[in-house]
């Protein structure tokens, strides 16, 4: 039997919080993209830059967020839309590999960052994990809520995790300037829900369910250091549940033999 980090994490989520996290669906095949196209391209096919704190992050995201950090006091950043005509031109330039950011409007670049996240072929938060994230956010105990969200973030593929870690760290910095830009962590979470945790159906668009989605993102924006933090290596010490218990319950999981 093959024991993986993901199986251990799922065991602790179920044992401690009653949360079942689905396995991610295996890809049927990889699409190959060529050229400098930026939007609508799988993460693995995008040019990426290694950032020591986060790993490999798409170059456009790094460049776009760095541009916006220099203009972080812009009022309504990410809330106020950019110019449709200018954004269209910028997209065309970026997809050709041209330098398009240096003279652009902050509102246009913020719009492009949202479009980049929203148009990825696969969501940065895979749909299989959405229900578990909402369950974790709804836990009444703050410590348990934070721990469950942290464990769930550790289930993500490395490329998704690096991208989201970088993004939440950036949005945290934006929220710290809310006295200037008027964009609190709650405001930022609200505008990023359609990009990161979009409701899949009308049932999930109820006020209560939408609020949970906002709160999940707000938590990660306010506490970006907990996202993807794999201190769960010390899981036996922290959670007082032994690997023997996991092995005894291993039939609960879809393990490889």
215 Cβ contact partners less than 8 Å away, ≥ 6 residues apart: 137, 189
Position 26 scores a pLDDT of 75
> What tens digit of pLDDT does each residue of 28-81 get?
655 555 555 899 999 999 999 999 999 999 999 999 999 999 999 999 999 999
What secondary structure letter does DSSP report for 18? -
> What tens digit of pLDDT does each residue of 197-218 get?
999 887 788 888 899 999 999 9
Rg of the chain taking only CA atoms, in angstroms: 19
Distance separating alpha carbons of residues 252 and 257, to the nearest angstrom: 14
Q: The domain 6-20+51-57+67-79+121-236: what is its CATH number?
A: 1.10.555.10
How crowded is residue 126: how many other Cβ atoms within 10 Å of its Cβ?
A: 15
* Residue 37 token pair: 């196209």
Selected residue with higher pLDDT from 128 and 24: 128
Chain centroid to CA 53: how far? 16
Chain centroid to CA 154: how far? 11
Q: Length of the chain, please?
A: 257
Position 244 scores a pLDDT of 45
* Residue 62 token pair: 């790094």
Distance separating alpha carbons of residues 1 and 24, to the nearest angstrom: 19
Residue 226 confidence (pLDDT) above 80: yes
Residue 3 confidence (pLDDT) above 70: no
**What's the pTM value of the predicted model, to 2 decimals?**
0.87
> Per DSSP, what are the bridge partners of residue 51?
55
């Amino acid at each position: 039997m093959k024991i993986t980090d993901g199986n251990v994490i799922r065991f602790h989520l179920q044992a401690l919080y009653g949360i079942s996290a689905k396995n991610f669906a295996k890809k049927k095949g990889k699409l190959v993209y060529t050229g400098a196209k930026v939007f609508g391209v799988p993460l693995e096919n995008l040019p990426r830059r290694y950032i020591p704190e986060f790993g490999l992050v798409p170059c456009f995201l790094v460049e776009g967020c760095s541009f916006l950090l220099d203009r972080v006091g812009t009022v309504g950043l990410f809330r106020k839309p950019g110019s449709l005509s200018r954004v269209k031109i910028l997209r065309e330039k970026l997809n050709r590999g041209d330098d398009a950011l240096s003279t652009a409007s902050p509102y246009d670049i913020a719009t492009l960052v949202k479009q980049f996240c929203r148009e990825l072929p696969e969501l940065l938060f895979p749909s299989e994990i959405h229900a578990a994230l909402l369950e974790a956010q709804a836990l009444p105990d703050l410590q348990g809520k934070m721990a469950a969200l942290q464990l769930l973030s550790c289930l993500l593929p490395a490329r998704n995790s690096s991208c989201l870690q970088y993004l939440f760290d950036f949005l945290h910095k934006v929220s710290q300037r809310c006295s200037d830009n008027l964009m609190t962590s709650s405001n930022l979470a609200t505008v990023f829900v359609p990009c990161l945790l979009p409701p899949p159906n009308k049932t999930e668009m109820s006020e209560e369910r939408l609020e949970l989605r906002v709160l999940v993102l707000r938590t990660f924006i306010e506490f970006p250091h907990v996202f993807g933090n794999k201190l769960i290596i010390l899981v036996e010490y922290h959670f007082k549940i032994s690997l023997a218990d996991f092995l005894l319950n291993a039939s609960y999981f879809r393990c490889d033999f």
